[in-house]
Amino acid sequence: MLNNNTFELNTNSENFRHFVLNALEKKTLPSSLASFAFRWDDSLTIENLKKLSIGYEKSFYWEKPDEETQIIALGELISINENGKGRFAAIEKKVKAAREGFVSNWDELGIDHIPLFVGGMKFTQENHSEVWENYADSNWFVPKLLIYIKGSEKVIVCNFLLLQEVSKDRLVSEFDQRISQIFSRRENNTHAAAAHPRVAEILGNTPKDKKKWMESVKKAIGTIESGELDKIVLSRQVELKLSEEPYVYELLGRLRENYPECYLFAFHSGKSTFFGASPERLIKLSGEWIEADALAGSAPRGKEENEDREFEEKLLKSQKDLMEHNTVITYFENLFKDYSSEVIYETPPKIKKLKNIQHLWTPLRIRLNSSHRIFSIMESLHPTPAVCGVPQADAMNVIKKMEDYHRGMYAGIVGWFNFRKEGEFAVAIRSALLKGKKLFAFAGGGIVEGSDPAVEYKETELKLKPILALFENENKS
């Protein structure tokens, strides 16, 4: 280990010893959560740190490139998993219990928005699905080690359980081991990454599959025209069988290059990794404020500037797409009446341009009352009209009947939060599940009155492109 790293380790080890000593003296519960954070120098880059995730049963990666925000969470200290209809309330209760006796040194650093819990939730509660066997309906964990980067701020967070029988010497020794591992492995590339996995076979993308999906869209349009629904989102699953197992961080690196304005994420659990590049924020919480996105209504990108502008202008004038978009805005306005009297947004909608698609987009800001709780708000919000439909319950029932697969984490929630009513969550779209040499990719489209099944199918192809384009010969069938 280099001298400057040894000095940094010794200094933080001593600071941690004082932190633990004070925490143990004040401890009143048999078990409580402790979080110790410290800044680190520029010599340690996130590219090095990605190597640390190899070998962990659970890890979580989160990045917003255009906001210079990155999180890598390693190992599972506390796990909060729930299944069934009561998952939101059950998670809220367990988080409240974990907060009892919590101690940290965060205030000494003067840094806001330090993540504590990371993970996500499925689109809906499900019966057993072999594809999603490594994920519960709701999956959150406090990592043993978390690296947080926000602009020029770089922080390492070590989380521990203060148990009745644990000694400060044992905690300090474990702290030293974790930090030593960071510096010792940063230059050690132990992973022989797959160069360019090829697609050996694609399932779910044949003309027969296309015809079947379009028939479902026709049925959905009939349901809408009968007045039973205003909107429904139908999705597709495509399964890729690959020549070799890819290295997920290489895939994320390519997604970063192509989609820097999106949320990049990778949630590894057991033998599965759920990853993607989502353009859609669910909510961002900062004390009394929530930021949310209405993102609905889509058009392709043009090959040239003039064509791209024509697609944009057509999208802004499309009654079908504007109706779909306004459905989402109305949904947010009605929802937040229970939490706030102030919902702020501008009209008309803006355009959010991604590499292969552009969307109608309206950012919203909501001032909350003092009694709000994170998971109560998320339960009210999720699933939004952008991934489910309106009315929500009726649309959900139709989705379960018409879709022949389990969505799992797709169109669910991924993100992070802490005990300070701070957090950020994305809608888990433009995503895929990786299990060894198998990859399951997903995409959906919003069906409203006036929708064209062929156009909707083409839209799903556009939305699958970010994932499928990561592999050579991705058009093979």
The catalytic site residues sit at 231, 280
Measured CA angle at 38 (ends 34, 42), to 5 deg: 150
357-367 and 231-242 strand pairing: unpaired
Nearest to residue 278, comparing CAs of 425, 146, 383?
425
Rounded distance between C-alpha atoms, residue 342 and residue 336, angstroms? 8
Burial environment of residue 66 by CB neighbours within 10 A (0 to 12, 13 to 18, 19 or more): exposed
Which helix (H) or strand (E) segment holds residue 389: the answer is strand 389-390
The DSSP element (H or E) to which 375 belongs, if any, is helix 374-381
Q: For residue 384, which phi and psi values (nearest 5 degrees)?
A: -75, 165
Query: Inter-axis angle of helices 453-468 and 207-225, to 10 degrees?
Result: 130
Residue 63 · residue 264 · CB < 8 Å: yes
Q: How far is CA 331 from its chain centroid?
A: 22
**Tokens, residue 462:** 């556009």
Sort strands 103-104 and 422-427 into parallel, antiparallel or unpaired: unpaired
Give the side-chain half-sphere CA count within 13 A for 316.
14
Neighbours of 360 (CB within 10 A): 26
- CA-angle at 251, arms to 153 and 145, nearest 5°: 40
DSSP secondary structure string, 58-94?
EEEEEEEGGGTEEEEEES-SEEEEE-STTHHHHHHHH
Contact 423, 284 (CB under 8 A): yes
Q: How far apart are CA 429 and CA 441, in angstroms?
A: 10
Torsions phi, psi of 345, nearest 5?
-160, 165
Backbone φ/ψ region at 270: left (φ over 0), alpha (ψ -120 to 50), beta: left
Q: Give me 320's structure tokens.
A: 């079908």
Distance between CA atoms of residues 356 and 462, nearest Å = 7
